Amino acid sequence: MTDLFSPIKLGSIDLKNRIVMAPLTRNRAGEGGVPQSMNVTYYEQRATAGLIVTEATPISAMAHGSPALPGIYTDAQVAGWKKVTDAVHAQGGKIVIQLWHVGRISHPSLLPNNAQPVAPSAIKPAGQAFTYQGLQDYVVPRALVVDEIPTIIQDYVHATQCAIAAGFDGVEIHAANGYLLDQFLRDGSNHRTDQYGGSIENRSRFLLEVVQAVVRVIGADRVGVRLSPVNPFNDMKDSQPQVLFNAVAQSLNAFDLAYLHAVEGGIHGGGESDPFDFIAFRKLFKNAYMANLGYDKLRGNTAIASGHADVVAYGVPFIANPDLVARFAKDAPLNEADSTTFYGGSEKGYTDYPTL
């Protein structure tokens, strides 16, 4: 019987099991966005996962949206991440890096020369940015002009080249949760009238151009894409999410990607999510499907046995249980996560959770 403990190949990445560590922002990078020793320990502790997807990692200085994020665009960041990948590989694990541009979900104080955050359209999101000076209201972003889009695509290319140099097994393109690529996809945030706005084909264009560019660098068999069709987090909405994301899933088939990673609902307390048929959505994507949101061991095994999911991503359980795979195997009780230590801080609530 195929279950969470069965091996699988995602593209060219061999996994020893189907239990994936989901991307988890923890705000604990060192100076200059360089991963530090406690980051190495944190990932190394969780290397029994079939696959680790790193925390969302900015692709450029303009891609940041909160303090103490690790980047993947300088030589020092590459060297820091190389220590992480070496440690994970030494434990027999596999790790991909999630490539991130936050778009409008930022603040001038976090960006070079107090720059205005960029977005598809000059629409201010509701909510506040987490900055070095505390919470501050989001600002009206600057709408990108068409000529700037190739520069951001090149940032994704450069970040992918850096990921290869850092020893990652692949990359995941973050097109979910209200960040830049998602902002282009959904009509609540994209009011453009050029070739990147209006129709679903036009709103999908930026994502597909990024995917094409990244695939050229690293190969489709080492690329995943993350989508969140109905997550309202970061003030996101779309008038026809099922139609939009069904079309996106079908468009992604052209690339023969390693996997599609879907957030199956709303996360981070963004409010009520719209109804959405994830079973139908999944059936439209021909390659491996990573299901994410509220899965436990039983639901994960059921999703795999039914053919809905090929792998299942676990977030909070991996924060509190570095040995989650062993605990699932033995049906052992799980540690409770301390949510007060999720974002920023020290080793406390990061590397000090007990194993069995």
Q: What is the pLDDT of residue 201?
A: 98
Q: What is the pLDDT of residue 266?
A: 87
Q: What is the pLDDT of residue 270?
A: 66
Is 0.95 topped by the overall pTM?
A: yes
Place of tokens 């979900």: 105
What count of other Cβ atoms lies within 10 Å of the Cβ of residue 212?
Answer: 13
What is the rounded average pLDDT of the residues 320-348? 98
Residue 10 pLDDT > 80: yes
Q: What is the pLDDT of residue 272?
A: 76
- The catalytic position among 179, 259, 350, 353 is 179
Q: What is the pLDDT of residue 140?
A: 98
Bridge partners (DSSP) listed for residue 143:
119
Percent of the chain topping pLDDT 90: 97
128-131 and 134-137 as β-strands: parallel, antiparallel, unpaired? antiparallel
How far apart are the C-alpha atoms of 104 and 88, rounded to whole Å?
Answer: 33
Confidence of residue 233 (pLDDT cuts 50, 70, 90): very high
Percent of the chain topping pLDDT 70: 99
Q: 277-326, pLDDT tens digit by residue?
A: 999 999 999 999 999 999 999 999 999 999 999 999 999 999 999 999 99
Q: 13-31, pLDDT tens digit by residue?
A: 999 999 999 999 999 999 9
Confidence of residue 273 (pLDDT cuts 50, 70, 90): confident
Nearest to 159 by CA among 226, 100, 207, 111: 100
Q: What is the pLDDT of residue 114?
A: 98
End-to-end CA distance of the chain: 27
* DSSP E strand stretches across 86-138: 95-100, 118-119, 128-131, 134-137
Are 205 and 150 contacting, i.e. CB atoms less than 8 angstroms apart?
A: no
Nearest to 324 by CA among 91, 88, 49: 49
Residue 100 pLDDT > 80: yes
Average pLDDT, the chain: 97
Residue 150 pLDDT > 80: yes
DSSP code for 62 = G
- Say which residues have a Cβ less than 8 Å from residue 199's Cβ, sequence separation at least 6: none
Q: What is the pLDDT of residue 307?
A: 97
Residue 107 pLDDT > 90: yes
Task: Answer yes or no: 179 catalytic.
Answer: yes
Residue 268 pLDDT > 90: no
Residue 269 pLDDT > 80: no
Q: Which domains does the chain have, with CATH numbers?
A: 8-341 (3.20.20.70)
Residue 350 pLDDT > 90: yes
How far apart are the C-alpha atoms of 315 and 325, rounded to whole Å?
Answer: 13
List the structure tokens of 348.
């406390």
The C-alpha angle with vertex 290 and arms to 286 and 293, in degrees rounded to 5, equals 135
Are 64 and 110 contacting, i.e. CB atoms less than 8 angstroms apart?
A: yes
Q: What is the pLDDT of residue 9?
A: 98
Q: What is the pLDDT of residue 154?
A: 98
Q: What is the pLDDT of residue 32?
A: 97
3-state SS assignment for residue 81: helix
Secondary element (H or E) of residue 290? strand 288-292
Q: 152-176, pLDDT tens digit by residue?
A: 999 999 999 999 999 999 999 999 9
Residue 116 pLDDT > 80: yes
Nearest to 291 by CA among 324, 263, 259: 263
Q: 68-95, pLDDT tens digit by residue?
A: 999 999 999 999 999 999 999 999 999 9
N residues, the chain: 356
